[in-house]
Amino acid sequence: MIILKTLFVLSVILSLLINVVSAETFLLNPGDSLQIAINNAGPGDTILLNAGTYSGNDIMVTKSLLIAGKPYYDTGDTSNIKDVVIVANAGTAANAFAIQEFSGKVSILGMKFIGVPGSVDLLTTQDEIEVGYCIFDGGRDLLSYDSNGYGEVHNCEFRNASDDNIDVDSEATVGGAYIHIHNNLIEDTGDDGIEIRFYSRSNSLPELVYEIHDNIIRGAGKNRGDGIQLIDHDTLESSRIVNIFRNIIDGEGLTEVGIGSLDNQQSNEDFDGADGMNEAVYIYNNTILDTQDYGITGGDHTFVINNIIIDCPRGIKHVSNEGLVDYTLTYNTPNGSAIDIIDAGHNYFNQDPGLIKNTYELNAKSFSVGKGVSTYTDHNTGTTIFTITTQDGSAPNLGAPSLGAIRRIGPVVNVGTDVNNNRCFIATAAHGSAIDLRVEILREFRDRFLLTNNIGSAFVKFYYRHSPAFADFIAKHSNLRAIVQTGLLPVVGLSWVFLGLGLIPSVVLIFLFCCCLVCMIWRKKL
């Protein structure tokens, strides 16, 4: 008991130190230099931009910062995002905003980026980044993950890129690197909605995990690109896992392939799939419609499960070798439902899904209701690809859940099933902000130490399923919020230790600390 009390006090002290050694906040007005503010800020500081327009030409970030539009930051009101505008002027600048390689994380929230098509990339990163609740309009590539760049982009709007709206060229080698692209509206691109290149990457490196989900991708390509394009660079597996799920990809007659795979480093669609692309690619519960050619082309380790493909000239091609197609529906694919695939035997070819196209919802009598499978395993590796839990225990529906016909910025994640949601509900309710430093610490602890293993992921799923009701109750009672904040202090403190030292050093430190306490208590008894 004494040990537990001592640990509690220690963790409270550590948590309080986080607030004592608090980050500084810089407040900018239009006309102020954002680059000077970044240069003057220290790691962990916050830069808030008041409403207005700011110049964005080759702005370099080389430290951990939170950079946000103040109108959104203060209120959480997404209608305020457009009040802070970063303009990338045409000229010699390579990027409007560039995150250089260092050791830390940059968060960019609540701003609108405007570029000139064909001129500059609006935002590039070579390290960890979070981009949330932003609008990107015009430019070459709107958001690029280069070199060792990785991180999360969520609840954003992307449109009018002359090349790709989101370009992922990451070869990140750091353990725990991830690419999370979710809950975005991605539309009207010159080439691909999302382009991902599989550059050579040693299999001895930690797996780089891609999670692309709950996005609406519309009108990508303008007659020469794909909704999501995967480009293989060699015939070797490159220690990557790609999960593409719950996306709505509406080609609007402009997109060549909904989800396309290409080999030999080529980016011009040849409609053949990627022979020799051995990375594990899991495509499930997506709705793909109205493309110029195929709904999906795959590689040699592609799994296509629980999808709907409708009103595409051709359905699926080259899902073979170690991959397969199962529990997937195609309809109105006049030139063929499936070519060069391994059919696992539970598909619904040429079956009307009962889809309301202008809202992407299933109608009341839809064939697709309850026709999916709730869990699926990669027979090559024994890995569970997904597990879907429905409220009444019935089989899941085919296709993506409806995200709305015209969705603008805002969270739409089903918290009962999505472990990659960006919010920590109870902590957010207690502290009043999803970007409070203490909430950020808990979120990062979740990402690094819980979501990386089965037990931790199961706990997070359980928490997301049951915590929203408690969070809503806490948010409405100020006295209860104060109590919960105090109760979370030891959790935040210990999380800070684990994030700072790593798992093994933290466990060793706590163990040694406990041993010292036991010895002291034992000596007193003697």
pLDDT in tens, the chain (526 residues): 555 555 555 554 455 444 444 568 899 999 999 999 999 999 888 999 999 999 887 888 988 899 999 999 888 888 999 999 998 865 555 577 788 877 778 999 999 999 876 666 778 888 889 999 999 998 888 999 988 899 999 999 999 998 999 999 998 888 888 999 999 999 999 999 999 999 988 888 888 999 999 999 998 877 689 999 999 987 777 789 999 999 999 999 999 999 999 999 998 999 999 999 999 999 999 999 999 999 999 999 999 999 999 999 999 999 999 999 999 999 999 999 999 999 999 999 999 999 998 889 999 899 999 999 999 999 999 999 998 877 666 899 999 986 543 344 433 333 233 333 444 667 666 655 555 667 778 877 877 777 666 677 677 767 766 676 677 677 666 677 778 878 888 888 888 787 777 777 777 777 777 777 677 777 666 5
Give the range of the structural domain holding residue 440, as residue numbers without chain letter: 2-10+423-508
Per-residue pLDDT, 245: 95
Distance from C-alpha of 476 to C-alpha of 153, rounded to nearest angstrom: 30
| Count of Cβ atoms closer than 10 Å to residue 493 Cβ | 23
Query: Is residue 437 included in any domain, yes or no?
Result: yes
Query: Is residue 456 included in any domain, yes or no?
Result: yes
In DSSP notation, 361-398 reads EEPTT-TTTT-S-SEEE-TTT--EEEE---TTSPPPPS
Determine the Cα angle at 498 with ends 496 and 503, to 5°: 170
Q: Is 195 exposed, middle or buried, given 0-12, 13-18 or 19+ CB atoms closer than 10 A?
A: buried
Per-residue pLDDT, 379: 93
Residues 279, 296 contacting (CB under 8 angstroms): no
Per-residue pLDDT, 39: 93
pTM, full prediction:
0.77
Closest CA to 155 of 131, 122, 123: 131
Strand order in the sheet with 259-262: 59-61, 95-99, 121-125, 143-145, 166-168, 194-198, 228-232, 259-262, 294-297, 314-319, 338-341
Distance from C-alpha of 258 to C-alpha of 297, rounded to nearest angstrom: 8
Distance from C-alpha of 419 to C-alpha of 447, rounded to nearest angstrom: 10
Residues 81, 111 contacting (CB under 8 angstroms): yes
| CB within 8 Å of 190: residues ≥ 6 apart | 117, 161, 162, 163, 164, 221, 222, 224, 225
| CB within 8 Å of 286: residues ≥ 6 apart | 244, 245, 246, 247, 248, 249, 258, 259, 307, 308, 399, 400
**Amino acid sitting at position 418:** D
Query: Is residue 405 included in any domain, yes or no?
Result: no
**Amino acid sitting at position 102:** F
Determine the Cα angle at 241 with ends 239 and 246, to 5°: 170
Q: Number of C-alpha atoms within 13 angstroms, CB side, residue 371?
A: 26
Closest CA to 96 of 86, 108, 83, 82: 86
Q: Is 246 exposed, middle or buried, given 0-12, 13-18 or 19+ CB atoms closer than 10 A?
A: buried
Distances (CA, A) of 385 to 368, 370, 488, 495: 21, 19, 33, 29
Query: Is residue 162 included in any domain, yes or no?
Result: no
Distance from C-alpha of 280 to C-alpha of 266, rounded to nearest angstrom: 19
Query: Is residue 292 included in any domain, yes or no?
Result: no
Closest CA to 289 of 308, 262, 269, 267: 308
State the total domains in the chain.
Answer: 1
Residues 86, 60 contacting (CB under 8 angstroms): no
Distance from C-alpha of 316 to C-alpha of 298, rounded to nearest angstrom: 8
DSSP label at 42?
A: P
Per-residue pLDDT, 472: 66
